[in-house]
Amino acid sequence: MGIDLTGLRALSFASRVYNFNFCNSATLGRHEIHFWKQEFEAVRKDFNFDYDETLTVGAFCEPLLQKLGAKKITSVDASAFEGASCIHDFNCPVPDSLHNQFDAFLDFGSMEHIFDVAQVIENIVKMVKTGGSILLATNANGFPAHGLFQYSPEFFYSVFCERNGFRDTSVFLVNTFRPKLWHLIKRPVVLQRRNQIPFEERMMVLVFSTKIGWVDQLSVIQSDYDKTWTKFATGRWAMWKSQDISRWKKILHQVANPYAYRIASEMLESFRVRRGYKSDRVLIDPDRVDPTKFLTEISALMDSGIGHRPIEAHL
């Protein structure tokens, strides 16, 4: 776990666009610096401080967060081996003393290593103050042996929603081979279907959100099930039937070896997903986004489901 170039850009984006207040920050684990001096200099214009020896590779992140305005930093970890300031297993509820304490909660690669996902989310939600912010960076795809989990954008949109006391949630995928542009993923509820995301790519996921209120119990329902259940309750629901299978699929099943059919269908699915992904995401350059326009224009885009083109860099 650590702050690499993508994590550094995410902190810049959080500060410059989301106006994070880092004054009292919590980190899940104690994160190291993984970016190089040359990488810092590439995004130097977004910071009001210079590179120094406290930011060298392998150093812990507290000096970096202090340069961003942090006055108090609490690192929470299940073990003391990296010198965390609070020893607590995130598989268990955090103590009341940590509730509503933090202006910012930051994680750069810890949550995928913790078994009880629901408890992790509940702890994060309870620790952040109303008006506070969340920045999470974790695995989305292509890291099956790295941790216990890989996460989908749908998960974070379903968790950090208004009924759970959050707004202005943005979920980005970052292709590790082409990290310059971030892929803003549209909410499935806007698309009226599940996202199309290539499954051959190595992707990180970045999550930004703002807490606007407290709820006693989180309600997390995948959006398309929520929609289906609503249709069922209103009598506008129809069960899928075998006659809905296309004629060409029925013919192929009759004449093709089942394994060959599966190979061909997966190749077709890969092509379809790649094509669909181009309209399901919006490309942005986080270093050039205009912070005065981002939240209002992105909110309109995400709510309307329109604008399937790359966002101009000046947005």
pLDDT at 314: 36
Separation of alpha carbons 179 and 204, rounded Å: 9
Query: What backbone phi and psi angles, to 5 degrees, belong to 281?
Result: -125, 160
For residue 73 the two structure tokens come to: 């930093």
Q: What is the pLDDT of residue 302?
A: 59
Partnered with residue 171 across adjacent β-strands are 207
* CA–CA distance, 256 with 23 (Å, rounded to integer): 63
| pTM of full prediction above 0.85 | yes
Which residues neighbour 274 within 8 Å (Cβ) at sequence distance 6 or greater? 198
Query: Alpha helices of the chain — where are they, by DSSP H?
Result: 5-16, 37-42, 62-67, 117-127, 153-159, 188-191, 223-233, 247-255, 258-280, 291-304
- Of 28, 27, 42, which is closest to residue 179 (Cα–Cα)? 42
Q: How far apart are CA 150 and CA 111, in angstroms?
A: 10
Residue given tokens 């394994």 in the structure block: 259
The tokens for 248 are: 């060409």
Cα separation, 65 vs 71, whole angstroms: 9
Beta carbons of 100 and 215 less than 8 angstroms apart? no
**What is the rounded distance in angstroms from the CA atom of residue 33 to the CA atom of residue 37?**
10
Q: What is the pLDDT, as a whole number, of residue 108?
A: 97
Query: Per-10-residue mean pLDDT for the chain, 315 residues long?
Result: 94 95 98 96 92 96 98 97 96 97 97 97 97 97 89 94 92 94 88 80 94 91 76 71 71 75 78 81 89 74 46 40
Select from 122, 16, 138 the least CA-distant residue to 69. 16
Whole-Å CA distances, 114 to 166, 205, 248, 289: 23, 17, 45, 33
Token reading at 268: 């077709």
Q: How far apart are CA 169 and CA 161, in angstroms?
A: 7
